[in-house]
Structure 1
Amino acid sequence: MASKLSDDKKTSVLLVERGEWDTDPFIYNTSDWYYHWGMNPTPLYIHKYFGESEPRLNGKKPINLLSNMVGGCSSMNGMVSNSGSFIFDYEKWGEITGAKENWSGEIAKGLFKEFLDDFPIYFENRNRTWLNEIGQAIERSLGYQWNRDGYIHLDPSGYSTKQFWMTPMQRRISPYSQLLKDSKALETRCNLNILVNHRAVKMEYASNWKRQVVVTGVWIQNTQTKKRWFIKVRKEVIVSMGAVETPKFLQLNGIGDKGRLESLGIPVVVDSPGVGRNLQDHTEVFYLGRSVARSLVNITYTIRNSVIDGYTIFGPRNASTQGHKYLVNIDIIQRVGYVPTFACNIESNRPESRGYVEINSKDPLADPVIFTNYYSDPRDLEYVILGLQECVQVQEELTKMGVLDPSTPIPLGPQSTRSDYTNYIIATSMTDYHLSSTVRMGHSKDPSSPLDGNLQVKGLKNVRVVDASVFPFIPGANLATPLSLLSYQAAKLIKKSTTSN
Structure 2
Amino acid sequence: MAHTSPVTVDREIVTDAIRPAYDFIVCGGGTSGSVVARRLSDNPEASVLLLEAGGSDRVPSVVDCTLWMSNIGSERDWGYHAQPSSSLNGRTPPLPMGKVLGGGSSINASVWARGHRNDFDFWAEESGDPGWSYASVLDIYRRVEDWTGPADPRRGTGGPLRVALPENPVPLASALVEAASGRGIPAVADLNADPMESDGGCGCPNLLVGRGNARVSVAATYLHPVMGRPNLDIVLCAEVTRLELSGSRATGVEFIQRGHTRSVRAREEVVLSLGAINTPKLLMLSGIGDQAELAALGIPGVVHLPGVGKNLQDHILLAGCIWEYQVPEAPRNNAAEFAFFTKSDPPLPGPDLMPVLDELPLASEVLATQYDVPSGADSAWTLAPGLARPASRGSVRLTSANPLAAPQIDANFLSAGVDVKALEYCVGLCREIGNSPEVKPFVKREVMPGPLSGDRLEAFVRNAAGSYFHETCTAKMGRDEMSVVDSSLRVYGVEGLRIADGSIMPRVTSGNTMAPCVVIGERAADLIASGHSGR
Name the TM tier (shorter chain).
0.7 to 0.9
User: For residue 429 of structure 1, what is the aligned residue in structure 2?
Assistant: 465
| Residue of structure 2 equivalent to 1:392 | 431
Q: 1: CA distance between counterparts of 2:348 and 2:530?
A: 31
* Partner Cα separation in structure 2 for residue 105 and residue 96 of structure 1: 13
Kindly tell me: are residues 246 and 345 of structure 1, through their superposed partners in 2, closer, same or farther at Cα, counting changes over 3 Å?
same
> Could you report, residue by residue, the CA deviation over 1:460-493 in whole angstroms, capped at 9, with x for unpaired residues?
1110011111111111111111101111111111
User: Pick from 495, 508, 512: which aligns with 1:474?
Assistant: 508
Of the structure 1 ranges 390-399 and 374-383, higher mean CA displacement relative to structure 2 is found in: 390-399
Which letter maps to 2:488? Answer: N
Aligned partner of 2:122: which letter? Answer: K
Partners of 2:171 and 2:343 in 1: how far apart? 27
Show the 5 A alignment for 1:18-37: 18-34=53-69, 36-37=70-71
Tell me how far apart the structure 1 counterparts of residues 244 and 356 of structure 2 sit (CA, whole Å): 47
State the shift of 1:291 in Å. Answer: 3.4
* Larger deviation, residues 378-387 vs 327-336: 327-336
Give the direction of change, closer, same or farther, for the CA distance of 1:461–1:392 in structure 2 (3 Å limit). Answer: same
Q: How far, CA to CA, are the matches of 2:411 and 2:281 in structure 1?
A: 15
| Residues in 1 aligned to 2:317 and 2:379: alpha-carbon distance in whole angstroms | 22
- How far did residue 319 of structure 1 move? 6.6
CA contact (8 A) 1:203 1:218 kept: yes
Any unmatched runs of 5+ in structure 2?
A: 1-35, 146-158, 362-373
Aligned to 1:49, what secondary structure does the other structure show? coil
Report if the CA contact (8 A) 1:455-1:464 is conserved. Answer: yes
Closer/same/farther in 2, CA of residues 11 and 144 from structure 1, 3 Å limit: same
When residues 402 and 174 of structure 1 are mapped into structure 2, their CA distance, relative to the original with a 3 A threshold, is closer
TM-fit CA distance, 1:74: 1.5
1:104-130 C-alpha deviation (Å, 9 max, x unpaired) = 111111011122122112312476423
Q: Given that residues 97 and 469 in structure 2 are in contact (C-alpha distance below 8 angstroms), is that contact kept between their aligned partners in structure 1?
A: no
Aligned residue for 2:30?
none
Task: State the Cα distance separating 1:326 from its structure 2 match.
Answer: 1.4
**The one of 441, 450, 461 aligned to 2:484:** 450
Distance 1:218 1:291, change over 3 A: closer
- CA 162–150 in structure 1, closer or farther in 2 if over 3 Å, else same: closer
Q: CA deviation at 1:137?
A: 1.6
Deviates more, 1:124-133 or 1:61-70: 124-133
State how 1:190-205 maps to structure 2 within 5 Å.
190-205=230-245
- Conservation of the 8 A alpha-carbon contact between 2:62 and 2:106: yes
Structure 1 residues 127 and 278: CA distance shift in structure 2, 3 A: closer
- 1:331-370 matches, within 5 Å, as 341-370=380-409
Moved more, 315-324 or 481-490: 315-324
Q: Does 1:42 align with 2:77?
A: no
- Structure 2 residue aligned with 1:256: 289
Gaps of 5+ in 1: 208-212
Alignment of 1:393-412 (within 5 A): 393-398=432-437, 402-403=440-441, 408=445, 410-412=447-449
**TM-score, normalization by structure 1:** 0.88
1:236 is paired with a residue of what secondary structure?
A: strand
Q: TM-score, normalised by structure 2?
A: 0.83
Deviations 1:394-420 (A, max 9, x none): 123237x742557x354344x532433
Shift of 1:135: 2.2
Tell me the alpha carbon deviations over residues 131-174 of structure 1, each in whole angstroms, 9 at most, x when there is no partner: 3322222122x211211133256446211112222103211111
Task: Spell out, residue by residue over 1:240-262, the C-alpha distance to the aligned partner (whole angstroms, 9 max, x if none).
Answer: 11111111100010101111111
Equivalent AA in structure 2 for residue 272 of structure 1: L
Per the TM alignment, residue 383 of structure 1 is displaced from its structure 2 partner at its CA by 1.4
Tell me the distance in 2 between the aligned counterparts of 1:62 and 1:494.
Answer: 37
Mark the CA change 1:412 to 1:48 in structure 2 (over 3 Å): closer, same or farther.
closer
Identity across aligned pairs (percent)? 26
- Once residues 23 and 292 of structure 1 are traced to their aligned partners in structure 2, the CA distance between those partners, rounded to angstroms, is 33
- How many equivalent pairs are there? 473
1:21 aligned counterpart, secondary structure: coil
- CA-CA distance at 1:363 after TM superposition: 0.5
Q: Equivalents in 2 of 1:24, 1:431: separation in Å?
A: 25
1:301 Cα deviation from its structure 2 partner? 4.5
Cα displacement string for residues 215-274 of structure 1 (whole angstroms, at most 9, x for unaligned residues): 22222221x13x222212111000111111111100010101111111112111101111
Q: Is the 8 A contact 1:129 1:301 kept in 2?
A: no
Secondary structure in structure 2 of the residue aligned to 1:231: strand
Letter in 1 for 2:354: L
Shift of 1:457: 0.5
User: Does structure 2 retain, via aligned residues, the 8 Å contact 1:243–1:435?
Assistant: yes
